Amino acid sequence: MKQVTREQAEDLMIDNDCNTVESMAREGDLSYLSDIFYGGFKGYSDYTNAELEAEHLEVFETEISIITDGYMCSNCGGGFNKDEMVFDENNDNDFCKDCAE
């Protein structure tokens, strides 16, 4: 099971929805957008972690676990506590100690 931050989980779902809209629109099919406009859309930021994990499983057929505390390595994607991480102050590439070596 892959561990991701909440932001990463939301971004994966948004990217997938955008790709779906784009590819369907290219084919002249606007039914996906119509469904959203008719029924509304809750918005991934309003999903609980459990709802977001379930939605990811339904869409991508892979399980994820949203990290609720701690830090995630930019390389391996694992979840770690603060003393297991090496932080890069110049950018967002923070690594676990194993990946930083």
Give the orientation angle of helix 6-26 with respect to helix 49-60, to 10 degrees.
40
Give the pLDDT score at 80. Answer: 83
Structure pTM?
A: 0.69
Tell me the per-residue pLDDT of 40-60, one tens digit each, with 9 for 90 and over: 999 999 999 999 999 999 999
Six token digits for residue 65 = 């676990």
**Residue 2: pLDDT band with limits 50, 70, 90:** confident
Q: Is residue 34 scored above 80 in pLDDT?
A: yes
Six token digits for residue 87 = 């932080």
Q: How many angstroms separate the first and last alpha carbons of the chain?
A: 24
